[in-house]
Chains A and B, each alone.
Chain A
């Protein structure tokens, strides 16, 4: 590698950093004032790009190429800002007092709906934008040709940084934003029109993200996968830079982008006779940067500890099942065990039941960290994926027997959960959530790119179990046994001292530490345990489908898990199982029928969050209470 290729990549890195910074800065500004982590922020970026590539040619016809290009960017920025304002007025306004998890989920629902809206409006194909008039050439630097547009982009980041800084320090609007960031109640008490301020801030944040997306017009095509990939990277940047710090966001964006660029620049190198393709390291490098920063500064480079978060009301004490409950559970187990027989009459029943069994184990393992642990993970799919790919790889590439392959999958998931969990449990609240999501994105990217091992975008095929699991009934009964074992173990642990200590750490970390409970270690172990059982669900999934692809382990699966838990009710142990059943039924029947199932899922989430925050189990409990009250009269 030579100095000039390094320089070339450095400029390239700065250009990427600008785009990242614009998304992260918007996320930070919005969070600072509204205390909401806007999951739909990647969507604003994506929409900015889509609107720009649509608008630029249209305007170009009437006004000429240059005016069309820049007019398209301006128009897209404005349109996305207006959309942001509308979103704040219609949706977010109802969420300011809701528990954090619901805010995250509702904005994620928005991401799903916007994604399908974009699919409806623009279709599934990527759309290329026009090149930048006047900036399509290149400049020569140290003998290398640098695209002019990249140099322009590299400069945009600092320009926006300075602009935002001036806005925040020199204007009344900026002073209000800073005041609200520091003390929201005080601003309200001073008689400032809070509603208007929040709308304006949301529009500003959305507009910046839209601008960032629109600017990419000359560099990359508009694509439907941009929202999530940008969101994942923006989370890494925000976690590294520190939530709420614009300066931190820029530094972190530069740091992350430059480290990636450096890995690309190094290319293929040889160390001690082995050749390493360093460009492979880009994903791992991102992870390492984040790891180092978080170990040294848990709140990021310029972040501060967050104030106590809204956790909602304390949940009622968990009780063991009474006799009726035990009878119901036994009946359900018998019903599921009899499924191969039922399958003689209803052919689809065992297929659905197998999906439900796997979903139940997946949802219950997520609930373990989310409910008793109080840690809302948005990246549980990572451990599902590690379990599934570990199993599939061991079965197809290594040729291990079914039980051994399954064990390999579980081991892979356990190792991944132990490693990622060590970092995640050091963080609280939204930081935890963002980091889990970022790790899941990293796992997904590695799986997607490491073709030799994972089969890349095609995945691994022919994951068939051997005797006695090769028959439909054999596999199903084995899966049922594994799932029941896992569920029983989780239930046992929740009521054991460890589970009590996990709940104690969630209820009051202060008290738990003062009583001598090692909260961090308890959380880490619970995270690793949940990841391990989730990996078992993933391994079962690989055998059940006979294949595994990156799509099956994308962030969508993490969200499916969250919806299952919420659908059933997070405050009960049976809730996630009910939710998993109901969700699987819904997915296998309704959602398969439409191309727009993401939007449908988004709507389901919004209804859940806004109308039934305690899920099916909570609803049933409330009905029972009302009936008792009625009967007593």
Chain B
């Protein structure tokens, strides 16, 4: 009973779409400092599960607690206000602003300073924003318009923005999607470093098994809406059930996507 309460606790969530059970009684937790991969074959319910946690979907049953608070069914904006950072499968930033302004905007929003009508935003939280860009390796590109950045850099910028609210939990939907193999490893190593340093809990979905087995602490596996495995990545990798339904009996380490 003295164990610290988990950052994220999902209990028995279920969701159906017109009679099809997309998710059926899924429960898991994440502790601070933990990098948890949510994997499963296409149509397993990953996106549904992920979108319930981030507030885009409301579950039919079950609860989601973040830092001990029941957030089930709260809209994404409210969940963001509770210290949850997010990145998207297709990176979403503000293309008409510079990289620096993007991060400043995220910082201003995190500090509930959106309704400021007088002082120029460009002088607000500038140092912190630069520091965040520095940490994600974007320091040299601070003044460039986000629309002009290479896609890999947009993903780093998005990460800097997600970290702006000093979140306790980071939700990353396919953090390495659309990146080349070398870039992927760099990106996930960056996430690993930053989250370790900040004691941050991370839940991410991922298609690349390299990324999952090389960097995650733990993995949970969904198949047809049910949780079929939950444990350290090495254990999950050896789990015969996982190999059967997910990897199709082949050697792990290769791409799961056909």
Contact = CB atoms under 8 A, between A and B. Distances in A.
Interface of A: 313-318, 320, 492-493, 495-501, 503-504, 506-508, 510-519, 522, 525
Give chain A's interface secondary structure class: helix
Nearest to B85: A514
Given A510-B92, A511-B88, A504 B80 contact: no
Contacts of A507: 93-97
A497 B77 contact: no
B161 to A, nearest CB: 6
B115 A497 contact: yes
Contacts of B165: 515-516
A499 B114 CA distance: 9
Nearest to B92: A511
B61 to A, nearest CB: 25
Interface stretch (B9-17, B98-106, B222-230): B98-106
Interface stretch (B34-42, B116-124, B131-139): B116-124
A500 B77 CA distance: 17
Interface in B146-195: 146-147, 158, 161-162, 164-165
B207 interface: no
A496 B120 CA distance: 4
Contacts of B112: 516
A48 to B, nearest CB: 43
B214 interface: no
Given A314-B147, A500-B97, A504-B105, A513 B76 contact: yes
A512 B121 CA distance: 16
B93 A517 contact: no
A493 B118 CA distance: 6
Given A314-B147, A317-B101, A515-B164, A497 B113 contact: yes
B92 A508 contact: yes
Contacts, number: 117
Nearest to B165: A516
Contact of B76 (A314, A317, A514): A514
Interface in B62-107: 75-77, 80-81, 86, 88, 92-98, 101, 104-106
Contacts of A320: 120, 122
Given A313-B147, A511-B92, 4 more contacts: A492-B118, A497-B105, A498-B115, A511-B93
A503 B97 contact: yes
Contact of B145 (A314, A493, A497): A314
10 contacts: A314-B145, A315-B96, A501-B109, A508-B92, A508-B94, A512-B109, A514-B162, A516-B110, A517-B105, A525-B115
A499 B101 CA distance: 12
Residue among A493, A515, A522 with most chain B CB within 10 A? A515
Contact of A497 (B54, B86, B88, B116): B116
A539 to B, nearest CB: 22
Contacts of A317: 96-98, 101, 145
B245 interface: no
B109 A516 contact: yes
B96 A497 contact: no
Nearest to B161: A515
B145 to A, nearest CB: 5
A527 to B, nearest CB: 15
Contacts of A514: 54, 76-77, 80, 86, 88, 92, 162
B118 A496 contact: yes
